[in-house]
Amino acid sequence: MRRIKPRRGFALLAQAAFAIALSSCAGVEPNEATSPPISYSPGVDCDRKWSRAATWVAQNAFYKIETRSDWLIQTFGPEGKSPGTAMKVEKLAAPDGSMELVLQIRCANFLGCVPDLDWLTGSFLAYVGGTSRLIVAIPPPPKHTPTLPLLGNPLAIFQ
C-alpha cells in the first residue's frame, strides 16, 4: 500500500475544497418571485391600480425606476451580489378579456433578498389591490463595500 506524504495530502485536500467552492457559486441563479395576478377592468379601476403599483415600486424597490410606460414599470438591477430588490410590473391581457397586473421581484444575492420576497409580494397585493393604505418605506440593504473611517494624513509618519 502506498502512503501519501502529509504535505501532498494537504495540498490535494486544499485543491479539492477550492474546486468545490468555485463550482458551488458558478451556477447560482438570482432569487426571484412572481406575484399572483391582480385582475382589473379597463378604465378608472385600471388607472387607479397602475398608479398605486408605480407608487409602491418607487417606495419599495432598492433600485430606481428605469422604465415607466402604459404597460411596464421596471427598475434598474439587480447588480453584483446585492440583496437589494429589482422589480418589474407588467399589464397583461387575461384569457377572459380582462387585464392583469403581475409583479416580478429579483435580487442577485443567493443567500436571500432584503426585504423578504414573500413579504414584498404580500405588501404589493394588499396595496395595489386596495386592501391596505400602507406604503412601508423599507430601509435599504447595506452597501456593497463598507466605508473606511478617515485615516488622516498618511504621510505624517514620514515627517
> Rounded to an integer, what is the distance from CA 59 to the centroid of its chain?
14
The model's pTM is 0.66
Q: Note the pLDDT of residue 80.
A: 86
Do the domain assignments include residue 139? Answer: no
Residue 6 within a domain: no
How confident is the model over 36-54, as pLDDT tens digits?
Answer: 999 988 888 889 999 999 9
Q: Is the pLDDT of residue 103 over 80?
A: yes
Residue 17 lies in a domain: no
CB 33 within 8 A of CB 104: yes
Name the band, by pLDDT with cuts 50, 70 and 90, for residue 98: confident
Q: Is the pLDDT score of 17 beyond 70?
A: no
Phi then psi for 44, rounded to 5 degrees? -60, -45
Average pLDDT over residues 127-153: 60
Instruction: Please report the pLDDT score of residue 62 as a whole number.
Output: 93
User: Helices (DSSP H) in the chain: which residue ranges?
Assistant: 6-26, 44-60, 117-129
Give the chain's mean pLDDT. 78
* DSSP character at residue 7: H
For residue 91, give its domain range.
28-129
Is 157 inside any structural domain? Answer: no
Q: Identify the pLDDT of residue 23.
A: 46
> Is residue 92 included in any domain, yes or no?
yes
In this structure, what is the dihedral angle of CA atoms 104, 107, 110, 114, given to the nearest 10 degrees? -100
Whether 19 maps to a domain, the answer reads no
Query: CB neighbours (10 Å) of residue 130?
Result: 12
How many domains does one find in the chain?
1
Residue 145 has pLDDT above 70, yes or no: no
In a domain, 153, yes or no: no
DSSP characters over 125-147 = HHHHHTS----PPPPPPPPSSPP
Neighbours of 57 (CB within 10 A): 24
Predicted local distance difference test score (pLDDT) of residue 147:
47
Decide if 21 is inside a domain.
no
Instruction: Residue 125: name the closest of 41, 42, 39 by CA.
Output: 39
Position 44, amino acid: V
Higher local confidence (pLDDT), 100 or 141: 100
**124: domain CATH number?**
3.30.310.80
C-alpha cell at 45: 379601476
pLDDT confidence of 106, banded at 50, 70, 90? very high
